[in-house]
């Protein structure tokens, strides 16, 4: 008898949990708004971010477009996107910004691009977002590809925009 009661209670609990786990109601949004939940993590974006991590400590060189010779910020982005995603990206940081689709800072996901005004010139620096407010970039200071945080004072004051090339 105890076994039947226990089995019935277990079955009832399972049915109750199944009934409560239906899809959540959809919230109405305007066509211009992309809720973060709808911008799921991109596998290709993860590939881009992982490839970027592999270039940490690569030397900096103004105009550099490959790791052997050294990389600048736009050369790093071009190299990584070509190698990891098969996407051809060309030009300066400003050119890359013009070709990307604008996204809100809150909608950033790994592989997206973050842009900064580092030389009193809009979109003068670019990095690849990793997640958790971190990004990989090739700054001329300290001469190596490295990870920094968007909320570090220097970058927080110079942050301009986010773009994606992935969707």
Active-site residues, by number, are 73, 125, 137
Please check whether residue 109 is in contact with residue 41, taking contact to mean a CB–CB distance below 8 angstroms: yes
């Amino acid at each position: 008898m105890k076994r039947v009661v226990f089995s019935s209670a277990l079955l009832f609990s399972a049915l109750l949990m199944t009934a409560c786990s239906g899809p959540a109601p959809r919230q109405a949004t305007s066509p211009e708004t992309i809720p973060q939940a709808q911008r799921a993590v991109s596998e290709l974006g993860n590939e881009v971010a992982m490839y970027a991590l592999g270039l940490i400590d690569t030397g900096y060189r103004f105009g550099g477009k490959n790791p052997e010779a050294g990389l600048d910020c736009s050369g790093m982005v071009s190299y990584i996107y070509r190698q990891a995603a098969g996407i051809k990206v060309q030009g300066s940081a400003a050119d890359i910004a013009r070709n990307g689709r604008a996204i809100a800072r809150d909608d950033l996901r790994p592989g997206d691009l973050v842009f900064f005004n580092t030389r009193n010139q809009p979109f003068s620096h670019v990095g690849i977002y990793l997640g958790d407010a971190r990004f990989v970039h090739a700054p001329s200071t300290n001469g190596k590809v490295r990870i920094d945080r968007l909320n570090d004072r220097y970058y927080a004051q110079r942050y301009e925009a986010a773009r994606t090339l992935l969707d």
